[in-house]
Amino acid sequence: MAIFKGAGVAIVTPMNADGSVNYEQFAKLIEFQIANGTDAIIVCGTTGESSTLTHEEHLDVIRYCVEAVAGRVPVVAGTGSNCTETAIYLSTEAEKMGVDGLLLVSPYYNKATQNGLYAHFKAVADSVKIPVILYNVPSRTGCNITPETIVRLCTDVENIVGVKEASGNISQIASLAALADGKVDIYSGNDDQIVPILSLGGIGVISVLSNVAPAQTHAICENYLKGNVAESLRLQLEAMELCHALFCEVNPIPVKKALNLMGMNAGALRMPLSEMEEKNAARLEKAMKDYGIL
């Protein structure tokens, strides 16, 4: 049974001017998502600046999200690390808080072998009882999880149920779908590839776009999953320039800027991330206006 189908938002972590987490605004962002049809909330992922949250903050943000959502949609917590023991610690603590699932990024910087990745993910998944989604994003981690390793993990480890595929390599994702034999829940990790991945048997997206356009991102998935493929494709293509603008600088720099332009007070970024360059900010603002969300 999938943790969710459709559009899950990789939600930002809003910050106060002093760099602390703005929980009051976080609650408003959560309500905005739920009111606009988001199918799941993924907290403390890349978009949530998990890499610069302390362990205490990381767990506090997860706890707050679970309490604010209050069971209305599934909450999936990012608890991955390049240290297996740290990933186990964050995962077991998140499970105690009542999350519905975990998102485990491949260990970054270490550049583990496929056998190392298998051992790492199995050790973390074995430490909890809740479902686990792997997160393959080699552009950020320097390490690709191959289709064979993903299928092996989903076959051998009962609670590893799927993967967020952000490799951008459609041929690799097609190979994964061919090998999976229904054993892997495949989520798009790239907003410009939602329909292509759904067409390969994917069941949804873990989305940056959904931060600023939750109803539209939900509609792309809902239409496809209900068989309205032409409408889903139309909505996907309509969003393409905004998708590209949201990634014209490294995520989450543009999406925080976009939320601030919408008056949603996502706040500043934590270093080493920096404010958006002027020319890119102008491109983003134009794309948002053209898309009708500004």
CA 27 → CA 31, 164, 265, distances in Å?
A: 6, 25, 12
101: three-class secondary structure by DSSP: strand
pLDDT digits (tens, 9 = 90+) for 87-139: 999 999 999 999 999 999 999 999 999 999 999 999 999 999 999 999 999 99
Within a domain: residue 187?
yes
What is the rounded distance in angstroms from the CA atom of residue 219 to the CA atom of residue 289? 19
Residue 16 sits in a domain whose CATH number is 3.20.20.70
Has residue 58 been placed in a domain?
yes
Query: Which residue, 122, 235, 140, 118, is CA-closest to 189?
Result: 140
Tokens 């056998």, located at residue? 115
Helix (H) or strand (E) holding 77: strand 75-78
Average pLDDT, rounded, for the chain? 97
Question: Is-contact 182 171, C-beta < 8 A?
Answer: no
pLDDT at 184: 98
Beta-bridge mates of residue 61:
none
R_g of the chain, CA atoms, integer Å: 18
Q: Which residues are catalytic?
A: 135, 164
Q: Give the per-residue pLDDT at 185.
A: 98
Residue 96 has a pLDDT of 98
Residues of the domain holding 209:
6-226
Instruction: Say if 53 falls within a structural domain.
Output: yes
pLDDT of 44: 98
Amino acid type, 154: C
DSSP letter for each residue of 246-266: TTSSSTTHHHHHHHHHTT---
Regions of the chain short of the pLDDT cut 50: none
The dihedral region occupied by 34, where left means phi > 0, alpha psi between -120 and 50, and beta the remainder, is alpha
Residue pair 211/253 in contact by the 8 Å Cβ criterion: no
Residue 145 lies in a domain: yes
Q: How many structural domains does the chain have?
A: 1
Sequence-distant (6+) residues with CB within 8 A of 279 are none
pLDDT digits (tens, 9 = 90+) for 268-292: 999 999 999 999 999 999 999 999 9
Indicate whether 137 belongs to any domain.
Answer: yes
With respect to residue 236, please indicate whether it lies within any of the assigned structural domains: no
**pLDDT score, position 64:** 98
Would residue 67 count as lying in a domain? yes
Q: What residues have CB less than 8 Å from 149, skipping those under 6 apart?
A: 114, 117, 118
What angle, 0 to 180 degrees and rounded to 10, lies between the N-to-C axes of helices 114-126 and 84-97?
30
Count CB neighbours of 281 within 10 A: 19
Residue 18, domain member (yes or no): yes
How confident is the model at residue 12, as a pLDDT?
Answer: 98
What pTM, to 2 d.p., does this model score?
0.97
